[in-house]
Amino acid sequence: MNTSPPRSLRHAAGRPSPTLEDLALAAGVSRSTASRAINGGDRVSPAAQAAVDRAVVALGYIPNRAARSLVTRRTSSIALVIPEPDVRVMMDPFFAVVITGITEALRETDVQLVLLMSRTDDDSARTLRYLRGGHVDGAIVVSHHEADSWARSLAETGLPTIFIGRPWDMTFDVTYVDTDNVGGGKLAAQHLSGIGRRRLATVAGPADMTAAVDRLRGWKAGLAEAGLPEGPVVHADFTTDGAAAAARLLLAEHPDIDGIFAASDLMALGVMEAIQAAGKTVPGDIALMGYDNHAVAETASTPLTTITQPMVEMAVKAGSMLLEEIEAPGSHPEPVIYSTRLVERESTSVAPTASAANA
């Protein structure tokens, strides 16, 4: 008499994983019914669904994602597209925060995140071919530049897409998550003028990025409201070294400056280095502000006054919006704009020194 266990239960360690046929046999249903039950299909009775669910647990069955994608046309993957050089992505904590937030949005799903860094024309073409090839269900784009064609290119593919940061080209049907960068720039001008600084300058971000352009626009509007001239403007990339170089030129040409707004906290660290190298102090001679409220702002040698940018919330929201668009193609969630606020620290805590005031 044959006392061996049925074929559906013979999957000990080292043996092949249970197949869909094994699952169907253990549940007492047809293969097609088992397939519909595990893939979320309809036309499955409650009794059959319960039987398949029990068999999945009993057998330790793991669905074949590749086979499932043929049915659902889903890959269970989304892409994060960062049109920046690898070295900047690795060194800027901004991107780590973005990845953390998107991962949090995916936590309760089976969706995986694919990171695509693409800065050169060749990289962009290769990345776009990948995105068009059906390898992912959607894309999130962050840190894009004016010359980038991601809004148009991705709109043409029909791939669900969310931008973090307002896209340059709004003629295409794309949506985005952003902060009120204009309002943030205005807050910076209002704060520095409000503490008595009158000779103000800014180390602005790249002129080909919407966040930098909007922050500069808000800065100028805030100065105008305070009755102050626009003052010197120098541009740098969103890096410490780039901002330090720009600030050295700024201080050499305008030694009487008593307040500087840097377009990011990392940039503010570079500006602080240049101020100290010029023999001046923060905030005694020059009050200094950043933007983002990264952890580096609080741990700087002189903790930075800054404008908040809730990047974790923004990234979580972008991930959630993309999942929504994937589940309901064409829904195109409305853009979400987060408000900004001032975080005051030591870098703007005192009035100008007598020597600076009389310069």
CA distance 283 to 272: 10
Same domain, 301 and 315: no
Q: Per-residue pLDDT for the chain (359 aa), expressed as one digit of tens each?
A: 443 334 433 344 445 678 888 889 999 998 878 877 776 655 788 888 889 888 888 887 766 554 544 444 678 899 999 988 887 888 888 899 999 999 999 998 889 999 998 766 556 778 888 888 888 999 999 998 888 888 888 888 888 999 999 998 877 778 999 999 999 999 999 999 999 999 999 999 999 999 999 999 999 999 999 999 999 999 999 999 999 999 999 999 999 999 999 999 999 999 999 999 999 999 999 999 999 999 999 999 999 999 999 999 999 999 999 999 888 877 777 899 999 999 999 999 976 665 454 44
- β-pairing, 259-262 with 200-204? parallel
Establish if 280 belongs to a structural domain: yes
Query: Which pair of tokens denotes residue 347?
Result: 């870098």
3-state per-residue secondary structure call for 273-339: HHHHHCCCCCCCCCEEECCECCHHHHHCCCCCEEEECCHHHHHHHHHHHHHHHHHCCCCCCCCEEEC
Residue 267 lies in a domain: yes
Exposed, middle or buried by CB within 10 Å (0-12, 13-18, 19+), for 314?
buried
Give the strand pairing for 259-262 and 161-164.
unpaired
Q: What share of the chain is helix, strand, coil (3-state, %, to 5)?
A: 45, 15, 40
Residue 174's H or E segment, with its range, is none
Residue 120 has what DSSP assignment? S
Q: Is residue 230 part of a domain?
A: yes
Taking the C-alpha atoms of residue 107 and residue 231, their distance in angstroms, rounded to an integer, is 47
Name every residue whose Cβ is closer than 8 Å to that of residue 163 and which is 6 or more positions away in sequence. 140, 141, 142, 144, 150, 151, 174, 175, 176, 177, 318
Q: Which residues on neighbouring strands pair with residue 234, listed in sequence order? A: 203
Rounded-to-integer distance, Cα 232 and Cα 107, Å? 46
User: Do 269 and 91 contact (CB within 8 A), yes or no?
Assistant: no
Beta-bridge partners for 161: 139
Same domain, 82 and 130: yes
Are 295 and 220 members of one domain? yes
Find the helix packing angle between 20-27 and 46-59, rounded to 10°.
120
User: Is 231 found in the same domain as 174?
Assistant: no
Distance, CA of 319 to CA of 78 (rounded, Å): 9
CATH number at 42 reads 1.10.260.40
Q: Do 228 and 189 reside in the same domain of the chain?
A: yes
Q: Is residue 114 part of a domain?
A: yes
Q: How far apart are CA 154 and CA 310, in angstroms?
A: 26
DSSP letter string over 38-58?
A: HTT-SS--HHHHHHHHHHHHH
Shared-domain flag, residues 248 and 188: yes
Question: By CB neighbour count within 10 A (0-12 exposed, 13-18 middle, 19+ buried), where does 29 fall?
Answer: buried
Does residue 14 fall inside a structural domain?
Answer: yes
Q: Is residue 1 part of a domain?
A: no
Rounded CA gap, 249 and 290, in Å?
19
Domain span including residue 147: 77-179+311-338
Domain co-membership, 299 together with 189: yes
Same domain, 351 and 208: yes
* Residue 86 sits in the same domain as residue 217: no
**Are residues 51 and 119 both part of a single domain?**
no
Any domain includes 91 = yes
C-alpha 316/C-alpha 296 separation (Å) is: 21
Strand partners, 307: 342
State the pLDDT at residue 129: 84
Which of 189, 190, 188, 352 shows the shortest CA–CA distance to 258? 352
**Strand-pair partners of 322:** none
Residue type, 154: L
Residues 296 and 319 in one domain: no
| pLDDT of res. 353 | 60
Domain count, the chain: 3
Q: Tell me: do 219 and 302 sit in the same domain.
A: yes
pLDDT of residue 280: 97
Q: For the packed helices 121-132 and 150-157, what is the interaxial angle rounded to 10 degrees? A: 20
- CATH code, 144: 3.40.50.2300
